[in-house]
Structure 1
Amino acid sequence: MKYELSGGNTCPLATVTLDKGESIKVENGAMVYMKDVTIAGKMNSSKKGLGGLLGAIGRSLTSGESMFITQATGDADGGQIGVAPAIPGKILKLSVGKQQYCLNTGAFLASDDSVSYKMKSQSFSKAAFGGTGGFYVMQTEGEGDMLVNAFGDLVELTVTSN
């Protein structure tokens, strides 16, 4: 995924350039514009059928993300899609693979098609007193790039499991 960030923290915009046949996932409603790109709506789940529907509903309830996700595929080399978060704040690229991440709910903006996230439950004390936004955090999976965003600035912390 090739991208360029503009707009600073006030009105951030990520312009993603796609080769022909290259696909990315985009948070539903985050697309600003597109050129030489095909858009398809998908369930926000890796499963199909009833299991996929239930998984998308569960993911929506636990993460605040939409039940649906947009898949953008380049129709020609140099296709472009502009994506922006619903709230002002910083956009940051994470290289997912050797290192995986736990993210606050609602942080996902876009990713390579090979990257996804699952919802991971956390203890009551972490949810209630940790300020992480709830009983679930987003745990990345796969290998590739992911764009995340948050209101205001982003702070990277190294955490260890107990």
Structure 2
Amino acid sequence: MAGLEGMDQSRREAESAPARWVTTIDDELATKALDLYGNPAAAEVRLLSRPESAAAARRLTQNVVLRQWGLGPQMAEHAVLLVSELVGNAVRHTGARAFGLRLLRRRGWIRVEVRDPSRGLPCLMPVHELDVSGRGLFLVDKLSDRWGVDLLPCGKTTWFEMRAPER
């Protein structure tokens, strides 16, 4: 096609180019979430048990993992996906008014915790190819290095850990 000869080549070059950190609207929203809710790496952050809180939890996680801890985009992407799954479970299945989010970093690991007042345990269900729901803990199991649930006197903490490069 006349005038479109370079289109395919530039698209291929763009797809193969390495990912770079670029300030975007998402970064600004992540910073605003940090200002609004607090830093989950410093202390547990309380979020209302509403579907829109998953977006706030994702933004907080992205900000901490990428900006504060300086970890790579793939680790941030996996942490954001998995925190979304844990938050979704807390919102959908616990009946709680609020839940807590906490991010911890220790030598070689990151840990993400979602605390809610329900003592009902999450259940890892078998996943089939055509299933449209019920994949949350399956993803947590596959993408994290380890995960679990700690029962508390009034509720539970569901958590996952991922290996992280040293600082």
- Under TM normalisation by the shorter chain, which class is it? under 0.3
Larger proportion of strand: 1
Max radius of gyration: which structure?
2
Larger proportion of helix: 2
Higher RCO (CA < 8 A, seq sep 6+): 1
